[in-house]
Structure 1
């Protein structure tokens, strides 16, 4: 994955932040008087909350309390607001270990939905790496094991199918972060080989709308969206700009929710996973999973607005 403008850096230049960002988890719950929206995983009918958490960069920290305290609060608020899915990978440095330590110490370890990946070549190397992920994340069973960036996927998919049958993992997935991989992801989706597919999609990078999202829905494959803010570029794009007044019609009162609700309005999407180590940003992100979602007219209006900037 690429490291461009971070959300934290972009927000430091934006003067149009709303009060929604400053809400506490309890205030968000009180204001909405409801739980986060859920969507069914097609292969099982299990329901998954619409907004989860990515761990790339943000969870790659050391062992000190100073480095980890912010993440403790992120996970606490995520749990209280009904968020479940935490996505990681061996590629993300110490993220898996940090997730394992913090969730184990939270008292709520079994309330999360754990997703990680295999990111290597060769059958035994993949098995060894995945077993290490289990150890780091302190899991006896992984909710979702994904093949990272399609790496040696024909080899790993066989192991994952075996592990699913043995009950070691619950779901099989495959991922990528680049538009160039969408065609191959679509072929795999149509083959019936996976329960989940994860890919990049945002209001500015809309290639997935051509056919990948529809293919996933038509073939009963759950969708996780990465890069929902286009590596922070969306916040740079709207620097100094106010939300359009009509955004309130869709219960949107921050730019993060504008971008996330555009994605979540597509019924093929099961979960979007913006990454953050900031509790206020986490609460703002999760807020996109509450309240009204844009209808078709709203989606079109949102896209036209961003295209006009």
Structure 2
């Protein structure tokens, strides 16, 4: 957790809007993967930065605790990439626990060029995570996208992976992403989307709904940009209406209020973050009018 996130959560705790874990009795919201109908819990774990630690028992222990808490509360989606430093190695240690792999929807990426290099990268990811197959592999940042999608579809036909997708994380990639989405058949896209960064909701998320593609969203807190913006501020009245007990829940409920979003993937490196974030995927979600109120509040800070 960044200093700013600690600060905003502490401030909100001075006047809590809901009892701690009051949402825990509510079922976790689940959404379908359009291409198959498979249901996924509506919040996952992103491993960029947060899981890029030295792969030693002491460094990995809090991450194991976070993942165990995540699974116990109904989560399943974990997203990583070979370019995320040691994250895949760390997940290999986390997934070593007996029976754990079967509970996880495990996603990674490819980000190299050429068929042989991409296949080698895929096999290296399996080795690092100590698994035999992956649920989803996406072409990271549209790198060599046509050739890499061909490789991934071949892996899918051989049941080495179950789903194929593409990812971006910057607004200046959205036009290129839309072109790929129009010409390719994809199971998933992953795109940057937050309450203060809404361009994807205008340019590509509706297209994903039209094309039958699941939508993962990254950087839902804007790499802590949002926490800095609201530091020292009280949650607005609309947060109480939605049962939000913290700013992370407020930000995530906004993203999930878009029905075309399948699964945001915030970084969660401690069990307490997992408990807090998953609260956003239970209970009420904002309707269009409430989403406008949330946008107006953030736009004014």
- Give the TM-score normalised by structure 1: 0.92
Q: Does the 8 A contact of 1:265 with 1:293 survive in 2?
A: yes
Q: Does the 8 A contact of 2:30 with 2:39 survive in 1?
A: yes
The equivalent position to 1:249 in structure 2, one of 220, 241, 253, is 241
Map of 1:157 onto structure 2: 149
What is the rounded CA distance, in whole Å, between the counterparts of 2:15 and 2:110 in structure 1?
37
Structure 1 residues 98-113: aligned runs within 5 Å:
98-105=90-97, 107-113=99-105
Q: Which structure 2 segments of 5+ residues have no match?
A: none
C-alpha displacement of 1:106: 5.3
Map of 1:44 onto structure 2: 36
Q: Does the 8 A contact of 1:20 with 1:284 survive in 2?
A: no
Residue 283 (structure 1) aligned with residue 275 (structure 2): yes
4+ runs of 1 displaced by more than 4 Å?
Answer: none
Where 1:173 maps in the other structure, the secondary structure is strand
Structure 1 residues 143-182: aligned runs within 5 Å:
143-182=135-174
Where 2:50 maps in the other structure, the secondary structure is coil
Map of 1:233 onto structure 2: 225
Where 2:95 maps in the other structure, the secondary structure is helix
Cα 1:254–1:13 change in 2 (3 A) is: closer
Structure 1 residues 136-215: aligned runs within 5 Å:
136-215=128-207
Higher mean alpha-carbon deviation, 171-180 vs 32-41, is at 32-41
What is the rounded CA distance, in whole Å, between the counterparts of 1:50 and 1:240 in structure 2?
29
Q: Which structure 1 segments of 5+ residues have no match?
A: 1-6
What is the rounded CA distance, in whole Å, between the counterparts of 1:20 and 1:244 in structure 2?
12
C-alpha displacement of 1:107: 3.4
Where 2:11 maps in the other structure, the secondary structure is coil
C-alpha displacement of 1:239: 0.8
What is the rounded CA distance, in whole Å, between the counterparts of 1:207 and 1:12 in structure 2?
28
C-alpha displacement of 1:153: 1.1
Where 1:104 maps in the other structure, the secondary structure is coil
Map of 1:4 onto structure 2: none
C-alpha displacement of 1:186: 1.3
What is the rounded CA distance, in whole Å, between the counterparts of 2:6 and 2:283 in structure 1?
27
Where 2:272 maps in the other structure, the secondary structure is helix
Where 1:57 maps in the other structure, the secondary structure is coil
